[in-house]
Amino acid sequence: LAETFQQEIVRLHGTPSAIVSDRDPRFSSRFWKGLQKAWGTRLKFSTAFHPQTDSQTERTIQTLEDMLRSCALEKCRAPICWDQVGEHVIKGPEMIEVTNEKVVVAKKKLKEARTRQKSYADKHRKALEF
């Protein structure tokens, strides 16, 4: 767990200032406590049986899953094994071009969704006279 954390989180995002855990024993072990102290990271535990923190986490995970699912479906209609793809670093003008392309796609998808919702609402709308 620590090795994966180091490779996937710290390497890409830097050392976290705090970690919120649902009291998982893996994060409360002596090893993790020592690691937290060495990094200067605070370990915060969510309140037991407190739905606000759990549902916030669940909602974040759901949003991330939705985003990944839409990316995977748009590109190749199959989940991508990111660990096999490797890192791809985009720099300078390439990054701007890729970002602009994604903005265009996002706007197109939003317009399609808006049109679909409007047609559904119009189909079920009843004329009211006062």
Residues 43-70: what's their mean pLDDT?
70
Range list of β-strands (E), 4-83:
18-21, 42-45
pLDDT digits (tens, 9 = 90+) for 84-130: 445 555 566 777 787 888 889 999 999 999 998 888 888 877 777 77
pLDDT digits (tens, 9 = 90+) for 21-51: 777 777 777 877 787 788 788 877 776 666 5
Give per-residue burial for 69-87: e unless 16+ CB within 10 Å, then b. eeeeeeeeeeeeeeeeeee
pTM over 0.85: no
Flag the least confident range among 7-21, 65-79, 107-121: 65-79
